Structure 1
Amino acid sequence: MQVVFLGGASGVGASCLAIELAGQWFVVDAGVRVDKKADPLPDLALLEGKDVRAIFVTHAHADHIGALPLV
């Protein structure tokens, strides 16, 4: 098992993490940052080539769902 924080680990916004389990990947949240000083998106490039099987959403705020269309 592997857990990778794609965003939100060091601040508010862009909450996104990926969990690898038995070669399959699961994403928890895919949000945007509302702070205009930083890149608004999590590092979604880390998901390229991954077998993402499901996306789980913790709640419907922009900092947790704003980047869903890009995943």
Structure 2
Amino acid sequence: MSRKGTPLDNACIESFFGWFKNELYVDYRPKDSQDAREAVPLQVQFHNYERPQARLKDQAPIPFRIGTNP
């Protein structure tokens, strides 16, 4: 186990949050912390229900799991 604060033991989560923060700032451009708080649930909704992922046959995670087509 690596020391505290080193992302080597948590690569998949670090990768997700890196993507999440990047997309959040590109899509919503929050000006202050209140804008960011409002944008986070919208970004989570987009990621889970709308954002296509190649490894899931170009479907979003939730539609892929329940077997519906977009």
Q: TM-score, normalised by structure 1?
A: 0.20
User: Per residue, is there more helix in 1 or in 2?
Assistant: 2
Q: TM-score, normalised by structure 2?
A: 0.20
Q: Larger Cα Rg: Structure 1 or Structure 2?
A: 2
User: Per residue, is there more strand in 1 or in 2?
Assistant: 1
- Which structure has more relative contact order (CA 8 Å, sep 6+)? It is 1
